[in-house]
Amino acid sequence: MSDEISRRTVLRNGSAGALSLGIAGLAGCTSSIPFIGGGDDIELDSWLFTPSLSDVFDDEDADPQEVTETNKQFTALVPEAVYENEDELITHYLLSVGSDLRNKTGVAAVDTDWIITQSIDWEYELDSSSYSRPRSGIADVRIVAGDFDAGAVETDLEKWVDDEYNGSGGGGYGDDGTDDETELEDAGSAPGFDLYEVENFAFGVSEDYLIEAETSLDAVAVVEAAIDAYENETGRWTEGDDGDKLLSELERGDYVSGELHRPRTVETRLEDNGYDDPDEASEEEREEAEEAIDDWESGLVGTTTTWNIDGDTTDIQGVFLYESDGDTDSDALSEHVDANRDYRQEWDTLEEYSISEAGRALVLTGVRRTRTLHSSH
């Protein structure tokens, strides 16, 4: 770490009132005061993970079967880029990424190096003596990197729990008529982290990272899976062929978003429309499903978008991952992009762009005007 006194240290030790100014108080002065965050690269490969549903399933007497990961996605942000380019961004809306966790832990965006939010959706079945029906589950995870006081974070979490559950309109009474206040509970520890839980939330707190999981499943197990992915390289996106390929083509940037999902095909669309067996659909229904899939997205299994903000222009990269090499169609993608380059459309003001092939991926690079980014966020 640098021997220089950081602005983070100045603000923490010199004036608590300065922090209360928040984002608004920094407007117009970032050129003279260095950004607090370290500006490190977002550690996507280390923190993008997929917990096993059986490991995080919150029912020891049930065993999920026919498990399918229907969708998983992420968004990542380096707040420093927002402050350095705030004159061009119109609003600070990008800072909403990860704001729920920052608010709970009392950590301002200006105090963080980067933020990653991610989610995973599952479909599964539970066998019973009478019937089996499809069910769904979801886990949302937020991770913030920086330099934190673990004790202060715990105190802020306790304050959030008290305000959220025991404040006006909150709390309740137990069966014996006594006050039954909700409290932040100690959930043990994991390598380098203290764990806490309350209701559908769990938290991992260390000096370098803050983790939050929100789910109706086992939230503590989700946080532990995140830490395991970071520490032991287990369950990472890079373990799967699709995740590894998508991230290998991805350029790191100031703002990155992406997702993996089931292939966009006639069969999966018919399944979404209620067919357990797509072959049971009529020819007319198959034709309708085929017409609903644009040529550029046929066979698509994942996408990412990267923004590198540089004053009044922003370098853009988009990765489009397909099920196989034969599904890629750069001409169809180019037609789609050209048709969506107008005001408030997906590729608003995109210019000087090109599309290249990388195996079963198409990679788009180009330049946009920074002031239009908010229209596609």
Three-class secondary structure assignment of 5-50: CCHHHHHHHHCHHHHHCCCHHHCCCCCCCCCCCCCCCCCHHHHCEC
Q: What is the pLDDT of residue 279?
A: 83
Whether residue 29 has pLDDT greater than 80: no
Confidence band of 175 (pLDDT split at 50, 70, 90): very low
Token pair, residue 194, equals: 């203290």
pLDDT band for position 179 (cuts 50, 70, 90): low
- Number of domains comprising the chain: 1
Residue 153: per-residue pLDDT: 98
Q: How would residue 338 be classed by pLDDT, with cut points 50, 70 and 90?
A: very high
Residue 235 — very low, low, confident or very high, per pLDDT cuts 50/70/90?
Answer: very high
- pLDDT, residue 262, reads 94
Question: What range defines the domain where residue 30 resides?
Answer: 1-60+92-118+133-232
In a domain, 300, yes or no: no
- Domain annotation covers residue 359: no
User: 293 lies in a domain?
Assistant: no
Q: What is the mean predicted confidence (pLDDT) over 164-186?
A: 69
Residue 20 has pLDDT above 70, yes or no: no
Q: Does a structural domain hold residue 182?
A: yes
User: Residue 307, Cβ neighbours under 10 Å: how many?
Assistant: 22
For residue 275, what pLDDT band results from cuts at 50, 70 and 90? confident
Q: What is the pLDDT of residue 209?
A: 98
Q: Which two tokens stand for residue 104?
A: 């709970």
pLDDT at 125: 87
Integer CA distances (angstroms), 314 to 97, 106, 195, 342, 352, in order: 19, 31, 39, 16, 12
pLDDT grade, residue 40 (50/70/90)?
low
Higher confidence at residue 170 or residue 30? 170
For residues 181 and 237, give the distance between their C-alpha atoms in angstroms, rounded to a whole number.
39
**236-263 tens-digit pLDDT:** 999 999 999 999 999 989 999 999 999 9
Region 67-96: mean pLDDT is 93
pLDDT at 308 over 80: yes
In a domain, 25, yes or no: yes
Q: Does residue 226 lie within any of the structural domains?
A: yes
Residue 374: pLDDT band (50, 70, 90) is: confident
Query: In 3D, which of 130, 141, 126, 113 has the Cα closest to residue 41?
Result: 113
Asked if 105 contacts 149 with a C-beta cutoff of 8 angstroms, the reply is no
Q: Is residue 253 part of a domain?
A: no
Q: Is the pLDDT of residue 160 over 90?
A: yes
* 289 band by pLDDT with thresholds 50, 70 and 90: confident
**Domain membership flag for residue 7:** yes
For residue 213, name the pLDDT band (cuts at 50, 70, 90). Answer: very high
Q: Which of 140-154, 160-174, 195-209, 286-300 has the lowest mean pLDDT?
A: 160-174
